[in-house]
Structure 1
Amino acid sequence: MRTVKHPEERKNDILNAAQVLFSTKGYQQTTIIDILKAVGIAKGTFYYYFTSKEEVMDAIIDRIIKADIIVAKRIAADPNLPVVDKLFHIIMAQSPKQGSNKQGMIEQFHQPSNAEMHQKSLIKAIKELSPVLADVIQQGVEKGTFQTKYPQETVEFLLASAQVIFDEGLFQWTAEESIHRALAFIDLLESSLHAEKGSFSFLLKRLTGEGDENNQ
């Protein structure tokens, strides 16, 4: 007897299966037939929810980013955390755990054939995350920790530059080059916000990838 599921549950089943397949088999190598077999549904059921494999990927990107934003907003609203600690926890929470499906998806974004998908994910991440970070920056301004007239715009510029410069799919820096750029970015960040020197030194490991093996 065929199992009848709530539409949202069935849609999530498709997304869950597709995310595992995209992460392990690869986006280009995964077919809609693969997804159908993994979920155990007919082609008509798939097309009831999605028009294409690309639309499935878009939905997965949305879901990953929304989950990150929920965590970021929770941290931003914590009245017991100093603003610099909030930024630290928000930024570190964006890092995928070693071997996770999220990490597998990010690796797929870096494939040359997935350049358009990669661009979409970067734009959406900046648009969704920047207001949360800007809110924390504004909290810092009100407490005298930071100084800026443009918290939203400052965050957008910093996020956009970091997303591009430190994207391993776009640039393959040597270890030394990566460290120099990370130090320059930290200096730029502290200067832009008139923050105390060393406030964002925690970003060095995050930007250079050092210590990622501990992020499990």
Structure 2
Amino acid sequence: MIRVIKTPEVRLAELLDCAQRLFFSRGYDNTTINDIIGDAGISKGAFYHYFASKEALLEALAARMARDSVRELQPLLENPELDAIGRLNALFGGARRMKVEMAPHIRNTFDVIFRPENVVLFHRIDRAVTAVVAPILTGILAEGTEQGILDAPDPKAVAEMLLQFRLSMGPVMHEAMQQAKDGNIDEAANMLEERMRLYGLAIDRVLKLPDGTIEMAEKGFARALLDAN
């Protein structure tokens, strides 16, 4: 039997593919490292060569999903007909571009990070996603400031502060998911949508934009996410 030699890049991508497939179908809690290495056809030693833990794997998967989302948004972000505000809405409104049918998988995978006992994992994933998004946001803020349509005197610092607002979403997401599990879907969805609206409003205020300029998610996305099975 011929042994197939794969490059580290290929093997890493395959591991992430396996993790995403299993996390999305079974949920993060119900997927073990043994499940992943069995699906990937590698040894446990090979797994630990790439990832120190299942949490590290989830962190890497979150970063890859962020990069994929940005890549899908690239045509919009580079559209010469959009000004900086249009690009901000394209970037911050990424949830709008997540297809509603993806909601069950997203919830199935990432609800674990919003639990209070997993605050360290939540911050690790947030840092991984921020590393992907912050440079793009910095560029948009610099462009908008130069155009005179928003106020970001230090684009990099302001970008980092705006992304820090997301940390307040963790407890709200956890509470909303708990309410949804208890059958209070309408209350949970309304609470989550209101917090997302306020998130956009906070960005408006920081950048000195008219209220309602930045839209964080389309109507109905919160319910689709919370009502996912």
- TM bucket (normalised to shorter chain) is 0.7 to 0.9
Please list every run of 5 or more consecutive structure 1 residues that lacks an aligned counterpart in the other structure: none
Change (3 A) 1:6 1:94: farther
Paired position in structure 1 for 2:204: 190
How far does residue 137 in structure 1 lie from its aligned partner after superposition? 1.7
Q: Distance in 1 between matches of 2:190 and 2:48?
A: 49
Q: Distance in 1 between matches of 2:59 and 2:168?
A: 20
Q: Distance in 2 between matches of 1:50 and 1:181?
A: 34
1:129 paired residue among 111, 126, 133: 133
- Secondary structure (helix, strand or coil) at the match of 1:203 reads coil
Q: Distance in 2 between matches of 1:185 and 1:140?
A: 19
1:153 paired residue among 140, 157, 162: 157
Q: Distance in 1 between matches of 2:99 and 2:113?
A: 16
Change (3 A) 1:110 1:192: closer
Greater relative contact order structure (CA < 8 Å, 6+ sep): 2
The one-character-per-residue Cα deviations of 1:97-141 (angstroms, maximum 9, x if unpaired) are 334355543233234554322221112223431231121122112
Q: Distance in 2 between matches of 1:50 and 1:184?
A: 37
Amino acid at match of 2:169: I
Paired position in structure 1 for 2:64: 63
Paired position in structure 1 for 2:99: 97
How far does residue 48 in structure 1 lie from its aligned partner after superposition? 4.2
Q: RMSD of the alignment, in Å?
A: 3.4
Paired position in structure 2 for 1:40: 41
Change (3 A) 1:38 1:76: same
Q: 1:108, 1:114 within 8 Å by CA — same for their partners in 2?
A: yes
The one-character-per-residue Cα deviations of 1:43-69 (angstroms, maximum 9, x if unpaired) are 344344444333323332332233334
Q: 1:165, 1:171 within 8 Å by CA — same for their partners in 2?
A: no
Please list every run of 5 or more consecutive structure 2 residues that lacks an aligned counterpart in the other structure: 177-186
1:164 paired residue among 164, 168, 175: 168
The one-character-per-residue Cα deviations of 1:57-101 (angstroms, maximum 9, x if unpaired) are 333233223333444566444333222211111123356433435
Q: Distance in 2 between matches of 1:211 and 1:134?
A: 31
Q: Distance in 1 between matches of 2:50 and 2:224?
A: 40
- How many residues are paired up? 212
Paired position in structure 2 for 1:52: 53
Change (3 A) 1:11 1:3: farther
How far does residue 4 in structure 1 lie from its aligned partner after superposition? 0.6
Q: Distance in 2 between matches of 1:135 and 1:184?
A: 24
Q: TM-score, normalised by structure 1?
A: 0.75
